[in-house]
Chain A
Amino acid sequence: MRDITVVRQFGEVVLAIAIAPLFVGWIAQCRAWMQNRSAPLLRQTYRMLRKLFDKDAAMAATASPLFRTTPYILFGTMVLAAAIIPSLATDLPFAHAADAIALIGLFATARVFLSLAAMDIGTAFGTMGARREMMVGFLAEPALLMVLFNAFLLYGSTALPSLVDGYRAHPTVIDPSAIFAAVAFVMVLLAENARIPIDNPATHLELTMIHEAALLEYSARHLALLEWASGLKLFNYACIGFALFLPWGIATNGADSGTALLISIAALLAKLVVAGAALALVESLSAKLRIFRAPEFLAMAFLLAVLGLLVHLLLGTKLA
C-alpha cells in the first residue's frame, strides 16, 4: 500500500515536469491563433529546451556561485511544489508534508533566489527586474493567502488534500464566497506568472518587462532550467486552482484503483486544455497595465478575496 502511493507520487511529479512545457506551448498556440497568425507547433517549447541544453553557457565575469546555483534551486522548489499539490490524487506522501501556507512560502523562496540572482551580475535591468518581481510578489501574496483562507473557512483545513476531499463530499454546493475567491485567484495567477495585464511574456522591451528582466543574463542550460521552472510554476498555479475550485476527477482517498487514476489524468488534461485556452483569451482581450497600475490590479484581487470572506461570514456556511 505504502509502495503504491510512493509510485503514484513519483508518477505525478514526472507527469508535472513532462507536461508543464506542453501547457506553455498550448497557451502560446492559442494566443497565436487569437492574433490571426499561424501558430508554432505544440512541441516548440520542448525544442527550445533541447536546443538550450545543447548550447554552451556564457557567463558574466562577475557571476557568483549564487548565480550558478539559482536555476537548480528554482527548478527544485517548483518540482517540490508540484509534489505537494494534489493534481492527480490526494493520498500522496508529499501532499501531507506541507499545507497551502507552506506552499506559498516555497514560491516566495523561489522568488527571493531569483531576485538575488538577477541583482548578482549588477546590470541595471536585472536589478530593476528583481525590484519589480518583489513588488508584484508582495502584493500578490496577501491576495493569494486570502483566497486560501476562503477555502479554509469552507472546509476547515489548510492542507490542499483535505480541501479536495472536503469539496468532493459536497460536490453540488456552489458557495458564493468561492466565486469571489476564484476571480481573485485568476488575477493572482496572471500577476504571479508574468501574464499580460501585469507583464508580457512576449515582450522584448527591457523597460516594460518584469520576469524576463531577471533572466536576461542567463544562457543555455541555466536558461533552460529557469524557463522550465516558470512553466512548472504556471502548471502548479493552475493545479492549485483546480484543487480549490474544480476538483472533479482528482482521485480521493477512497478510490485506490487504476481506473480512478486514469480518470484523474484525463480530467487534468481536459482542465489544462480549457484553462490554457481561457488564459490565452484573457491575455488577448486585455492590454498590459502600466507598472504603477499593478498595485491597483492586485489590490482588487485582495478586495475580492476579502469580499468572499465577508460573504462567507454573513451567510455562515460551513461544509466540513
Chain B
Amino acid sequence: MFTILSRMIHTGILTEPLPTVAVGAPSTEALQRSLWKVLGRALCIRHVDAGSCNGCELEIQALNNPYYNIEGTGIKFVASPRHADLLLVTGPVSVNMEGALRRTYDAIPDPKLVVAVGDCGACGGIFGQSYASWGSIANVIPVNHTVTGCPPTPAALLAGILQAIAASGAEV
C-alpha cells in the first residue's frame, strides 16, 4: 500500500498536451473550443472491431493510458452504443461482422458520428474487398471521418476524433 502511495506522489502528472493537428487544419485550441461548444466537452465513444487485426486496438487502448489520457479532455469510451455519440470502427468489415456493425450504428441515439480507423477501415488495407470482407467501413455505414495509418498513432487518432467533431460542428 505504501509503495503504491509513494509511487503516486513521486510520479506526478504524466499526461502530455493534446496533439497539434496537421497543416491546414484548425489549431488544437480552436478544435477544443468547438468541442466544448458542440458536445459540452462530453463525448462518448463506442469502439467496434469489425474484423481488425488488433493493431489499431492496441493504439486505441493507448488513448486511455496516463500519457494520452483521453478522459482528461472529457472524451470517454463507453460500454454500450446507447451511451455513445461517436462510433470508432476498425477493420475491413468482415462479412460476419456486417450485421453487428449495422445494428451498433442503429443503436446509437442521434446525433451521431462515425470515425473509420486504419488503412483497413479506409480502403480494406491488405485484406481489400473480397468474398469475405466489404473492403471499407464506408461501404456499410456512413462515415464522417477517416484516420489512416497501419496502425495510426494514438496522437493521430485523437486528432482525427477532434477533427470529426469540428467538421460536423453544424449538424451535431
Contact = CB atoms under 8 A, between A and B. Distances in A.
Contact of B13 (A33, A220, A223, A285): A33
B153 interface: no
B25 interface: no
A204 B109 contact: no
Given A37-B14, A285-B5, 19 more contacts: A32-B72, A36-B8, A36-B12, A36-B14, A37-B15, A37-B66, A37-B69, A38-B72, A44-B41, A47-B41, A47-B42, A50-B42, A55-B109, A56-B110, A216-B79, A217-B82, A219-B109, A223-B82, A285-B4
Interface string A26-44: 0000001111111111001
Interface of B: 1, 4-5, 8, 11-15, 39-42, 66, 69, 71-74, 77-80, 82-83, 85, 107-111
Interface string A193-228: 000000000011110010010011111100100000
A58 interface: yes
A120 to B, nearest CB: 14
Contacts of B66: 35-37
Contacts of B85: 51, 55
B72 A48 contact: no
A158 interface: no
Nearest to A48: B42
A284 interface: yes
Given A32-B71, A55-B110, A285-B1, A37 B13 contact: yes
5 contacts: A40-B72, A47-B41, A48-B42, A216-B83, A285-B1
Contacts of B83: 215-216, 218-219, 223
A15 interface: no
A57 to B, nearest CB: 6
B79 A203 contact: yes
Contacts of A39: 72
A204 B82 contact: no
B80 A217 contact: yes
A50 B107 contact: no
Given A33-B13, A219-B83, A284 B4 contact: yes
A216 B82 contact: yes
Q: Is the interface of A mostly helix, strand, loop or mixed?
A: loop
A58 B42 contact: no
A203 B80 CA distance: 11
A215 B82 CA distance: 9
A55 B40 CA distance: 12
Interface string A105-129: 0000000000000000000000000
Given A51-B42, A285-B4, A58 B107 contact: yes
A51 B39 contact: yes
A48 B110 CA distance: 15
A215 B111 CA distance: 20
A204 B40 contact: no
B1 to A, nearest CB: 5
Given A36-B13, A37-B15, A285-B5, A58 B82 contact: yes
B80 A47 contact: no
A212 B79 contact: yes
A100 B40 CA distance: 39
Contacts of B11: 36
